[in-house]
């Protein structure tokens, strides 16, 4: 399966995918191209260091229709079958999504639908999680549709953060610990979903459901129900598949923790129990 990645800046999730491929964890998956939107984005050098073509498509100040057409042309040129958004800072149009319907993935640093939607990205997500006082957050991989963070959920990874509130740290540092703790599992979850898709384990089903709609009638607002068709997704992952995946991914987990430890991150706070799960 030929994979195309869209990124805007750091590209840590893209790097994690490349590492899974390099270490032989991801099988039957070929990163075909990385398309980046900022000329100075560090993700370009990351892709090139792994031997992946990096293509710059200017976004800022460029009409959406023009930049999206260039992105689509690049994806077609490289024969991309699945698109993964990895820190991509732009909302895709309905016409773009239709070209790759149910073949575009996004990863979000919370357990959607909580802390998702318009304006919820980066540290804003973690700030919302912290303000809510929840004890468990996590990461979500979902299919992209015309909504913002509302496409069918494929997989989630819960992350315990209850201990962070009591840490003797400034607020900003607590958020950094929270974000890092989630990011470790983002890097593991994304490749798990990509492998499941490469293995043909996605099941899509359309169902008609009753959905509320707000209407104005005679100067008054009221709610009505209408029948709409919605698409739901399931990854058909059984215990045997998951056991095999965990065994394969162990080499990445060891590599990841070693790399993070050598970077100077406060691993005693980020991974108080080792992050080996």
Tokens at residue 161, please?
């953060």
For the chain, the domains span 1-101, 106-201+236-277
Residues 115 and 129: beta-carbon distance below 8 Å: yes
The contacts of residue 61 (CB under 8 Å, 6+ apart) are: none
Tokens at residue 270, please?
């980020």
Q: Using alpha carbons only, how large is the chain's radius of gyration in Å?
A: 20
Closest by CA position to 111, among listed 149, 162, 163, 167: 149
- Give the span between the Cα atoms of 204 and 145, in whole angstroms: 13
Could you read off the pLDDT tens digit of each residue along the chain, which spans 277 residues? Answer: 999 999 999 999 999 999 999 999 999 999 999 999 999 999 999 999 999 999 999 999 999 999 999 999 999 999 999 999 999 999 999 999 999 999 999 999 999 999 999 999 999 999 999 999 999 999 999 999 999 999 999 999 999 999 999 999 999 999 999 999 999 999 999 999 999 999 999 999 999 888 778 788 777 887 788 888 889 999 999 999 999 999 999 999 999 999 999 999 999 999 999 999 8
Cis peptide before 113 (omega within 30 of 0): yes
pTM equals 0.94
- Give the span between the Cα atoms of 208 and 264, in whole angstroms: 51
- Give the span between the Cα atoms of 183 and 122, in whole angstroms: 11
* Assigned fold of 1-101: Rossmann fold (3.40.50)
pLDDT in the model for residue 163: 98
What does the chain come to in residues? 277
């Amino acid at each position: 399966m030929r994979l195309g990645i869209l990124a805007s800046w750091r590209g840590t999730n893209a790097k994690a995918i490349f590492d899974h491929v390099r270490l032989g964890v991801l099988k039957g998956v070929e990163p075909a191209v990385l398309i980046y939107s900022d000329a100075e984005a560090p993700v370009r050098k990351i892709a090139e260091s792994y031997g992946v073509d990096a293509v710059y498509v200017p976004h800022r100040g460029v009409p959406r229709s023009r930049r999206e057409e260039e992105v689509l042309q690049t994806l077609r040129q490289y024969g991309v079958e699945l698109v993964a958004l990895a820190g991509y800072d732009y909302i895709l149009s309905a016409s773009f999504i239709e070209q790759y319907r149910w073949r575009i993935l996004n990863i979000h640093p919370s357990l959607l639908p909580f802390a998702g939607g318009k304006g919820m990205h980066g540290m804003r997500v973690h700030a919302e999680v912290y303000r809510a006082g929840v004890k468990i957050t996590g990461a979500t991989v979902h299919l992209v549709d015309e909504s913002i963070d509302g496409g069918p959920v494929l997989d989630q990874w819960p992350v315990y953060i209850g201990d962070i509130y009591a840490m003797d740290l400034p607020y900003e540092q607590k958020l950094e610990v929270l974000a890092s703790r989630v990011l470790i599992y983002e890097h593991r979850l994304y490749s798990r979903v990509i492998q499941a898709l490469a293995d043909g384990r996605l099941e899509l089903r359309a169902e008609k459901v009753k959905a509320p709609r707000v209407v104005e009638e005679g100067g008054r607002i009221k709610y009505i129900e209408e029948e709409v068709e919605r698409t739901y997704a399931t990854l058909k992952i059984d215990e045997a598949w998951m056991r095999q995946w965990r065994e394969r991914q162990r080499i990445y987990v060891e590599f990841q923790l070693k790399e993070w430890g050598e970077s100077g991150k406060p691993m005693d706070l980020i991974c108080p129990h080792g992050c080996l799960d």
